[in-house]
Amino acid sequence: MAKPLDPKKVKLIVADWKTGAFTQRKLAEKYKLSNGAVAKITKGITHDNEQIVSKGVEYYRGLEVLREQSHEQDIKAVITVVEEKVLQLNWFNNAAMKVAEMALNSVSEKSPPSDLKTVTDVFVGSMKAAQLVPYYPNSTTITNTNAQQTVSEKILTLDDMYSGNP
């Protein structure tokens, strides 16, 4: 009888597989398992994190180019701006989720269809505003370049982001 696999090892194999950086054969070599065992573990699992790995490599390569050119101040500035933008996106995502949750909680099974449409519009608008759509694998974002829009921006402070107040 085959020895049961360590659940921690299975999680590591799945995590590596999702990066898209390994073949089943390479994973079998890395974790000292048979090709068949790895094939069973990875069956039906997609490379969900492949795009993140690709963007991460691009980011770190960009930093390395700056480092090679001795642009340490540029590196610090890039890292600071990226960290701030991530904080802002996380804050906005949380705010959009709160709005969507409030909208969903405001309707009942007996609500008229107009209420349900309003809630759906709020929910979808919140998801779009939080820019969640681009993070789902295999999704498509359509941009209408003919549309004229006025965008107003509110500069968020770190206090805003950490307090959780949108």
pLDDT tens digit sequence for 43-85: 999 999 999 999 999 999 999 999 999 889 999 999 999 998 8
Same domain, yes or no, for 86 and 157? yes
Residue 26 structural domain: 7-42
pLDDT tens digit sequence for 89-148: 888 778 777 777 777 777 766 677 677 677 777 767 766 666 554 444 444 444 445 444
1, part of any domain: no
pTM of the model: 0.56
Query: Could you give the residue ranges of the DSSP H alpha helices within the chain?
Result: 7-18, 24-31, 35-42, 50-68, 72-105, 113-129, 158-163
Same domain, yes or no, for 65 and 88? yes
Same domain, yes or no, for 19 and 78? no
Which of 87, 97, 94, 96 lies closest to 156 in space, CA to CA?
Answer: 87
99, part of any domain: yes
147, part of any domain: no
